[in-house]
Amino acid sequence: MRTEYTKQELNRLDTIEQAWDGDELKIQESDYKVWLSHPENRAYNGDYTIEVLVNGKWEQSNHSF
């Protein structure tokens, strides 16, 4: 599982889904997701968020480019 991405990498990927707050789901596996943060959300969520399924619960970590 990768935890570091560049802005260019995530921007090149198709958006799978858009969240209610504008964040864009870029990578989705059965136990792993990567969300590109909407510019207005970066102060709170960082540049992108990684979600990992651990014991049936999604755990998030925020990352910056």
Report the length, in residues, of the chain.
65
In the prediction, which pLDDT does 14 show? 98
Residues 6+ apart with CB under 8 A from 56: none
In the prediction, which pLDDT does 1 show? 81
pLDDT digits (tens, 9 = 90+) for 2-49: 889 999 999 999 999 999 999 999 999 999 999 999 999 999 999 999
Please state the domain extents for the chain: 7-63
Q: How far is CA 23 from CA 14, 34, 38, in A?
A: 13, 10, 5
pTM listed for this prediction: 0.92
**DSSP 3-state of 43:** helix
